[in-house]
Amino acid sequence: MAAAVCLFACDEVRVEIRAGNAHDLSVCLKMDTTFETEYVWQMEARQTSGDIALGFHLSRLPRPVKAQSGTTPERVAFDAQNGGTLFVADDAGEILGFADVTVSEWNQAAQINQIAVALAHRRKGIGTRLMRAIITWARQKHLRAVLLDAPTKAHPAIRLAQKQGLVFCGYHDQFYPNRDITLFFALNLR
């Protein structure tokens, strides 16, 4: 795992964003990555002779739903053991969050496969600090872009990506096994 160290102050705690190790990975794999959302991005598609019109709009759900991120613990473990970088948010030895990032050599892009914060530490800026550390790391590696995909229900992750400058760049309706539509976001670094 590549070294990445950044130190950020998060509310009342000091969080070090660093590359994870094998022990950190075991903690991250046990972390509850489910999330609750009140919003979903809905797709509208219209096709007429020669034209295809697509649109996404944010819709409020009638009640909050609990959802699972699109990435499995097995994928996070595979990435960490096969050249990916595991970023962890560490507060004096307690892992508060993590991000699973791989580099696509063919397009020189950092792919954020998962970003998660422990339930008790959400909404404290830790996800933002992880994203900023990933973007800084990608720039230091002279990568072309930072990419993130998220299911349409992952409104917290989508908002986090948008706040860090990632913009919508596409979708895929067969990406996840549960057939949820995936939205793709990118931040160009060059």
CA pair distance 71, 104, nearest whole angstrom? 17
What ranges do the domains of the chain cover? 5-36+66-188
- Written as six digits, the tokens of 132 are 């900023």
Residues 84-140 pLDDT 10s: 999 999 999 999 999 999 999 999 999 999 999 999 999 999 999 999 999 999 999
Exposure class string for 100-125: b at 16+ Cβ within 10 A, else e: bbbbeeeeebbbbbbbbbbeebbebb
Which of the listed CATH numbers 3.40.50.970, 3.30.590.20, 3.30.830.10, 3.40.630.30 matches domain 5-36+66-188? Answer: 3.40.630.30
Q: What digits encode the pLDDT tens for the residues 7-49?
A: 444 445 589 999 999 999 999 999 999 999 999 999 998 999 8
